[in-house]
Structure 1
Amino acid sequence: MDAQLVAFTGVAAGMVAMPGADFTVVVRNALVSRRAGVACALGIAGGLLVHTALAVAGVAAVLVAVPALFRALQLLGGGYVLYLGVRTLWSLWRAQGAPADGSAGARPLRQGFVTNALNPKAPITFLSLLPQFVPAGSPALPRTLLLALIVVGLALVWFPAVALLVDRLGRWLRRPRAARAVAGVTGAVLALLGLVLLSEPLVS
């Protein structure tokens, strides 16, 4: 058994499961419907595929080498996450209960994809983490591709599972009072994450 591969899988699983913008957006859409939650989860996996391709192609190194490009991506990602949070809170303020903008088929898929694809820390994580698990003397490209695909595979398991769990608890979570509380929390978390992402390039 490849001990490095097992170790990487454990590290990657912890990274994927760590709550953040991806997790919050999945929960937000799963409150609308199971279909919306799963579609959002698949969108996140699609965003990870983009990062996988960038890391394998070496484009992630360009983001490190060109600070202005990295900051621009930070601003785009932070702005989008902030937009999702504010939109959720706005819908809540208008007394519409849980956010209803994720019901359209393509919209939650797009939200998941854009939220992950515009995360500037993902390519840096790929770039810094993957080389540590490439054995000395081994071809870098196939090994790096394998490691990156493991991350995508873990996301394809974790985020749909989160969506299905939220949908399973939906009878309770969709009660008016509970729905408003969850919508308020997810909206506030997204807005806060967006502000953090926006502040990092502005204060650095």
Structure 2
Amino acid sequence: MDGQIIAFTGVAAGMVAMPGADFTVVVRNALVSRRAGVACALGVVGGLLVHTALAVAGVAAVLTAVPALFRALQLLGGGYVLYLGVRTLLDLRRTRTETVVEAGAAVHPLRQGFVTNALNPKVPITFLSLLPQFVPQGSSALPGTLPLALIVVVLALVWFPAVAVLVDRLGRWLRRPRAARAVAGVTAGALTVLGVMLLAEPLLAA
């Protein structure tokens, strides 16, 4: 069992650290301030707690059993991520360079982090596909999956605030006018592309 936990922790760490919508939203808010970045990171962790509860309870299995529900959640999540990206791109056009990062990022950072993660349907599917592989045969669902799911939450609780703090420490350079505009443009573009990809998948599959 110890070997399985170590193996799972390694896989889960790679999954959590993989750049995506969560990472991009945390960076975007951390450029405003450490407080905004950490708040957004905690929002992401809050979303993961929701997915953890669903996975452990087995409710997330409904997403794989009911394709229409899964597609609806994909559309909601993709739409929200796309909204964040487009909003930042619009802010880039209508605000001064010095304030371009602040314009759209620090509005309810906790909520942004939570909604971005909670509306990502791939998170519970990842839980469902990953957890069973590391649960010993014969173990009941709750004792077998709960510790593994909590490992993911703990890793996220370490990783995303650490990203926020690191970005904040680099903020003196990143907040320079040209750097600020470049970073804001990259994060806005990343969010927009991620949103389009999340929306395209269910629409093309329909």
Q: Give TM-score, length-normalised by structure 2.
A: 0.96
Q: Give TM-score, length-normalised by structure 1.
A: 0.97
Structure 2 counterpart of 1:108: 109
Preserved contact between residue 56 and residue 141 of structure 2 (Cα < 8 Å): no
Structure 1 counterpart of 2:4: 4
The answer to whether residue 46 in structure 2 is matched with residue 46 in structure 1 is yes
Unaligned segments of structure 2, at least 5 residues: none
What amino acid sits opposite 2:166 in the alignment?
L
What amino acid sits opposite 2:36 in the alignment?
A
Preserved contact between residue 28 and residue 184 of structure 2 (Cα < 8 Å): yes
The alignment partner of 2:101 has SS state of: coil
Preserved contact between residue 54 and residue 123 of structure 1 (Cα < 8 Å): yes
Mapped to 2, the partners of 1:95 and 1:139 lie a distance apart of 55
The alignment partner of 2:105 has SS state of: coil
Structure 1 counterpart of 2:55: 55
Structure 2 counterpart of 1:175: 176
The answer to whether residue 26 in structure 2 is matched with residue 26 in structure 1 is yes
Preserved contact between residue 92 and residue 99 of structure 1 (Cα < 8 Å): no
Deviation, 1:135, is: 0.6
What amino acid sits opposite 1:142 in the alignment?
P
Structure 2 counterpart of 1:163: 164
The alignment partner of 2:104 has SS state of: coil
Preserved contact between residue 43 and residue 109 of structure 2 (Cα < 8 Å): yes
Unaligned segments of structure 1, at least 5 residues: none
Preserved contact between residue 31 and residue 168 of structure 2 (Cα < 8 Å): yes
Per-residue CA shift, 1:123-171, capped at 9, x if unaligned? Answer: 0110111011001122321120110010000000000000000000000
Structure 2 counterpart of 1:200: 201
What amino acid sits opposite 2:127 in the alignment?
F
The alignment partner of 1:101 has SS state of: helix
Per-residue CA shift, 1:30-50, capped at 9, x if unaligned? Answer: 000000000000000000000
The alignment partner of 2:103 has SS state of: coil
Preserved contact between residue 78 and residue 198 of structure 1 (Cα < 8 Å): yes
Mapped to 1, the partners of 2:163 and 2:40 lie a distance apart of 11
Mapped to 2, the partners of 1:132 and 1:114 lie a distance apart of 28
Q: Percent identity?
A: 82
Equivalenced residues, count? 202
The answer to whether residue 16 in structure 2 is matched with residue 16 in structure 1 is yes
The alignment partner of 2:60 has SS state of: helix
Select which of 84, 98, 101 maps to 1:98: 101
The alignment partner of 2:190 has SS state of: helix
User: What CA RMSD, in Å, does the superposition of the two structures yield over aligned residues?
Assistant: 1.0
